[in-house]
Amino acid sequence: MGRIILRLDRMMADRKMSLNELSDKVGVANVNLSKLKNGHISAIRFSTLIAICEALDCQPGDILEYAPDEEKPAENIS
- Residue-wise pLDDT for 18-72, tens only, equals 999 999 999 999 999 999 999 899 899 999 999 999 999 999 999 999 999 886 6
d(CA 42, CA 24): 23
Asked if residue 78 has pLDDT above 90, the reply is no
d(CA 36, CA 71): 27
Domain-wise residue ranges, the chain? 3-67
3-67 placed in CATH 1.10.260.40: yes
